């Protein structure tokens, strides 16, 4: 066994930390705040990464990527999430939109969409969830009805991250009804500047410019906008989910904040209640556990041995970690003197972490869905 | 990155599983409980045949992985023998095995065995075990110690980690038995496994078991790579393993219902015989206290420390 990622990964981690230090303000809490400068920071940082061929490091070279190992890509995910995802919304394009288009897109779609993602020039949003279709995604009602040689799409999406700033939408719509509700769904790649699309922001504790409703009113789409096969979109959704389940290295931000706590507290650290310091150690151990479980999923995925339960077990562990660490950090933050060095930074980070973590067991597949997936895998073994 | 045991170690673990089953499987622990003095004759020959005592986990990387795999297999069958403790023996003393002990009431699951043991405290103080008290549940006896030296710090990590592999084998089995049980047992005209309340309990237990699996591998690697923080990694594993055992056995007992407490049910034996592994040398709170004190504000080695 060998749990050392190797020198290349270490060097890459150092390079990324240097870039973050040089290009991202210390108090940056993500691209979706009320301060427009934060979005600009993310846009600029993506171009900086792209210039160094770091934005799409793991993509194959033929698609403008760096052809790097999955472990180098893991380092990128960890460092970006630990530092509040300075790629902004573009992490989605890099993490899964691009790779999915590589797998399922036509040559024309690949030529059209992949280079802008690789250059850090485009933001995508995901048109999946609807008011009546959250965890039960296949029940969605947004419909694409045949009209000449194309379709007209009408319906409503909700909880759509980054829709106000996105140029493209990865849209899931119903094109027919099959025996099962998972049949008859189709993926369309649609431009967000079409007048038939309206976006309404939803202010929330996750960030004032994060969540949105998106309305489609007879949006015209054609065969050229279809990703994969008409009516066969559900298999692509499964593919998207498998990327999403390891796409965010939540454990890395937890660990960064937990590791910073003793420094911020300084000499007062030893005066903390022993029980709180013990909780801190416990959740640090859970950070390690989640990180290693993520590595196991990455390893299984890269070798094609991944089973549905593997990613689900990791997702359950890491989303619970997100919330457990947030509670411990909030308790520690209450002990920090407001005039201590780095106190402002730490308190801002911790409050943001706590707010964002509340959604971790809900977004990208709720923890209940993960439990269903994992239990199916466990019980299938008994049959 | 290689996140799994090597093929040879995995195969050795499978051989262990088959050999323990052939030697009596679940009956072994029941026979040993009735007559603890039979522990050696029940388990010793099969371990010798497997070449367990030729493994050299302290100096040979393959031997280390094979030892871990064998401990896991022993745990799966609740083998009534201190395999991990014997495999953890120090290299510089002529003894049969090593027991990590607490400063207070040093104890080990050694009843019924006539072996030469060295005990080591978490602080590295080594002692010869010169006598044992009356046997309690699960073969546990208090140990009478005679000080040897203070040179045992390097012995501690392996002495903590291998028993966690044994406990992991018990968790593997407990989950396997429970999944089989809920897939067969019917209530209200349906198998228990069809109830979401049952399914979700199973998944919570499995996440814990799965977490111990990867932490156990990490801690083993840390020892093999001679990392300075290997003892902290061992304690972190131990803390998680005890927590996981609490969840897994609670869920498994609950889902087995009353039959899970019966002597005819293997879970009952696993649960009882997991106790020494969970309480010795220290239980959950004390293990967490020791780890917290050791790491101070530096925490565990990770991405940001």
For residue B215, the surrounding DSSP H or E stretch is: helix B196-224
Q: Do A379 and B199 touch (CB under 8 A)?
A: yes
Contacts of B298 in chain A (CB under 8 A): 262
A276 and B CB contact within 8 Å? no
Q: Which of A78, A85, A130, A244 is the catalytic position?
A: A244
Residues of chain A with CATH 2.40.110.10: 126-232
CATH code of the domain made up of B154-295: 1.20.140.10
DSSP one-letter string for B92-107: SS--SEEEEE-SSS-E
B190 and A CB contact within 8 Å? no
Model confidence at A246: pLDDT above 80: no
pLDDT digits (tens, 9 = 90+) for A10-33: 999 999 999 999 999 999 998 888
A306 and B CB contact within 8 Å? no
Model confidence at A383: pLDDT above 60: no
pLDDT at B131: 96
A76 and B CB contact within 8 Å? no
Contacts of A289 in chain B (CB under 8 A): 211, 214-215, 240
Nearest to B206 among A252, A284, A378 (CB): A378
- The CATH fold of domain A126-232: Butyryl-CoA Dehydrogenase, subunit A; domain 2 (2.40.110)
B60 and A CB contact within 8 Å? no
pLDDT at A198: 97
Q: For this structure, is A223 an active site residue?
A: no
Domain segments of chain B as ranges: 154-295
**B125 falls in which pLDDT band (50, 70, 90)?**
very high
pLDDT digits (tens, 9 = 90+) for B185-203: 999 999 999 999 999 999 9
Give every CB contact of residue A315 below 8 A, 6+ residues apart in sequence.
A245, A365, A367, A370
pLDDT at A36: 87
* Domain A249-380 homologous superfamily, CATH: Butyryl-CoA Dehydrogenase, subunit A, domain 3 (1.20.140.10)
Nearest to B183 among A71, A313, A382 (CB): A382
Q: Do A293 and B299 touch (CB under 8 A)?
A: no
Instruction: Choose the weakest-confidence range: A31-45, A187-201, A327-341, B34-48.
Output: A31-45
Model confidence at A94: pLDDT above 90: no
pLDDT digits (tens, 9 = 90+) for A58-91: 888 888 788 888 899 899 999 999 999 999 888 8
Q: Do B200 and A375 touch (CB under 8 A)?
A: yes
pLDDT digits (tens, 9 = 90+) for A176-214: 998 899 999 999 999 999 999 999 999 888 877 788 999
A2 and B CB contact within 8 Å? yes
Q: What is the mean pLDDT of chain A?
A: 92
Q: Do B214 and A252 touch (CB under 8 A)?
A: no
- The CATH fold of domain A7-122: Butyryl-Coa Dehydrogenase, subunit A; domain 1 (1.10.540)
Contacts of B239 in chain A (CB under 8 A): 281-282, 285
Q: Do B225 and A4 touch (CB under 8 A)?
A: yes
Model confidence at B1: pLDDT above 70: yes
Model confidence at A156: pLDDT above 90: yes
pLDDT at B130: 97
Model confidence at A340: pLDDT above 90: no
Print the SS3 string covering chain A.
CECCCCHHHHHHHHHHHHHHHHHCCCCCCCCCCCCHHHHHHHHHHHHHHHHCCCCCCCCCHHHCCCCCCHHHHHHHHHHHHHCCCCCCCHHHHHHHHHHHHHHHCCHHHHHHHHHHHHCCCCCEEEECCECCECCCHHHCCCEEEEECCEEEEEEEEECCCCCCCCCEEEEEEECCCCCCCCCCEEEEEEECCCCCEEEEEECCCCCCCCEEEEEEEEEEEEHHHEECCCCEHHHHHHHHHHHHHHHCCHHHHHHHHHHHHHHHHHHHHHHCCHHHHHHHHHHHHHHHHHHHHHHHHHHHHHCCCCCHHHHHHHHHHHHHHHHHHHHHHHHHHCCCCCCCCCHHHHHHHHHHHHHHHCCCCCCCCCHHHHHHHHHHHHHHCCC
Q: Nearest CA of chain A to the CA of B214: how many Å?
A: 6
A80 touches A91 (CB < 8 A): yes
**A341 falls in which pLDDT band (50, 70, 90)?**
confident
Contacts of A263 in chain B (CB under 8 A): 297
Q: Hey, which residues 208-267 in chain B have their CB within 8 Å of chain A? A: 210-211, 214-215, 217-218, 220-222, 224-225, 236, 239-240
Q: Do B1 and A383 touch (CB under 8 A)?
A: no
A374 and B CB contact within 8 Å? yes
A378 and B CB contact within 8 Å? yes
A82 and B CB contact within 8 Å? yes
A274 and B CB contact within 8 Å? yes
**A245 falls in which pLDDT band (50, 70, 90)?**
low
Q: Nearest CA of chain A to the CA of B61: how many Å?
A: 9
pLDDT digits (tens, 9 = 90+) for A285-330: 999 999 999 999 989 888 888 877 888 999 999 999 999 999 999 9
Q: Do A292 and B218 touch (CB under 8 A)?
A: yes
End-to-end CA distance of chain B: 20
Q: Say yes or no: ipTM exceeds 0.95.
A: yes
Q: Nearest CA of chain B to the CA of A4: how many Å?
A: 6
Nearest to A382 among B180, B224, B288 (CB): B180
End-to-end CA distance of chain A: 32
Residues of chain A with CATH 1.20.140.10: 249-380
Q: Nearest CA of chain B to the CA of A268: how many Å?
A: 11
Q: For residue B182, what is the nearest residue in chain A, using CA coordinates?
A: A379
**B149 falls in which pLDDT band (50, 70, 90)?**
very high
pLDDT at A382: 60
**B220 falls in which pLDDT band (50, 70, 90)?**
very high
Give every CB contact of residue A119 below 8 A, 6+ residues apart in sequence.
A47, A50, A55, A64
Model confidence at A149: pLDDT above 60: yes
Model confidence at A229: pLDDT above 60: yes
B288 and A CB contact within 8 Å? yes
């Amino acid at each position: 066994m060998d749990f050392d990622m190797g020198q290349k990964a270490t060097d890459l981690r150092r390079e990324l930390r240097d870039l973050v230090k040089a290009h991202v303000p210390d108090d940056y809490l993500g691209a979706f705040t009320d301060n427009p400068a934060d979005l600009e920071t993310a846009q600029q940082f993506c171009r900086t990464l792209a210039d160094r061929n770091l934005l799409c490091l793991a993509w194959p070279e033929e698609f403008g990527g760096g052809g790097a190992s999955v472990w180098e890509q893991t380092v990128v995910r960890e460092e970006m999430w630990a530092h509040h995802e300075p790629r902004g919304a573009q992490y989605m394009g890099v993490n899964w939109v691009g790779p999915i288009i590589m797998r399922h897109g036509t040559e024309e779609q690949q030529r059209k969409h992949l280079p802008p993602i690789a250059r850090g020039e485009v933001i995508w949003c995901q048109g999946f969830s609807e008011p009546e279709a959250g965890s039960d995604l296949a029940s969605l009602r947004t419909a694409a009805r045949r009209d000449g040689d194309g379709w007209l799409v009408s319906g409503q999406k909700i909880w759509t991250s980054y829709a106000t700033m996105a140029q493209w939408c990865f849209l899931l719509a119903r094109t027919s009804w099959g025996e099962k509700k998972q049949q008859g769904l189709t993926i369309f790649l649609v431009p967000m500047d079409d007048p038939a699309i309206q976006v309404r922001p939803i202010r929330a504790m996750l960030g004032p410019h994060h969540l949105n409703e998106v309305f489609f009113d007879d949006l015209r789409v054609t065969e050229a906008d279809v990703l994969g096969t008409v009516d066969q979109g559900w298999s692509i959704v499964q593919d998207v989910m498998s990327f999403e389940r390891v796409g965010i290295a939540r454990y890395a931000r937890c660990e960064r904040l937990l590791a910073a706590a003793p420094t911020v507290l300084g000499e007062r650290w030893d005066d903390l209640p022993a029980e709180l310091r013990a909780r801190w150690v416990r959740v640090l151990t859970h950070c390690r556990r989640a990180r290693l479980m993520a590595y196991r999923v990455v390893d299984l995925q890269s070798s094609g041995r991944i089973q549905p339960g593997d990613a689900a077990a990791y997702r359950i562990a890491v989303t619970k970690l997100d919330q457990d660490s947030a509670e411990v950090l909030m308790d520690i933050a209450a002990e920090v003197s407001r005039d201590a060095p780095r106190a402002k930074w730490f308190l801002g980070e911790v409050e943001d972490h706590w707010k964002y973590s509340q959604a971790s067991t809900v977004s990208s597949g709720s923890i209940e869905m993960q439990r269903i997936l994992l239990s199916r895998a466990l019980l299938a073994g008994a049959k | 990155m290689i996140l799994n045991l090597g093929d040879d170690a995995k195969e050795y673990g499978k051989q262990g599983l088959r050999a323990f089953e052939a030697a009596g499987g679940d009956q072994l622990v029941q026979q040993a409980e009735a007559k603890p003095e039979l522990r050696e004759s029940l388990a010793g020959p099969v371990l010798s045949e497997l070449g367990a005592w030729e493994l050299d986990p302290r100096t040979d990387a393959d031997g280390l992985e094979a030892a871990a795999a064998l401990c896991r297999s022993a745990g799966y069958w609740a083998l009534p023998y201190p395999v991990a403790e014997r495999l953890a023996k120090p290299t510089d003393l002529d003894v049969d095995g090593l027991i990590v002990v607490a400063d207070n009431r040093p104890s080990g699951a050694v009843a019924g065995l006539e072996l030469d043991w060295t005990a080591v405290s978490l602080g590295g103080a080594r002692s010869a075990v010169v006598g044992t008290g009356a046997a309690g549940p699960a073969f546990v006896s208090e140990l009478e110690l005679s000080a040897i030296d203070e040179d045992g710090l390097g012995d501690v990590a392996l002495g903590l980690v291998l028993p966690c592999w044994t406990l992991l084998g018990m968790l593997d089995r407990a989950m396997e038995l429970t999944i089989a049980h809920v897939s067969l047992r019917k209530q209200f005209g349906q198998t228990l496994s069809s109830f979401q309340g049952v399914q979700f309990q199973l998944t919570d237990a499995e996440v814990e078991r799965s977490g111990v699996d990867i932490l156990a591998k990490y801690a083993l690697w840390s020892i093999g790579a001679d990392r300075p923080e290997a003892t902290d990694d061992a304690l972190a594993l131990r803390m998680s393993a005890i927590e996981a055992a609490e969840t897994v056995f609670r869920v498994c007992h609950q889902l087995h219902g009353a039959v899970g407490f019966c002597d005819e049910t293997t879970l009952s034996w696993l649960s009882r015989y997991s106790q020494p592994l969970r309480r010795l040398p220290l239980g959950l709170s004390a293990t967490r206290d020791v780890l917290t004190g050791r790491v101070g504000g530096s925490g565990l080695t990770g991405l940001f420390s």
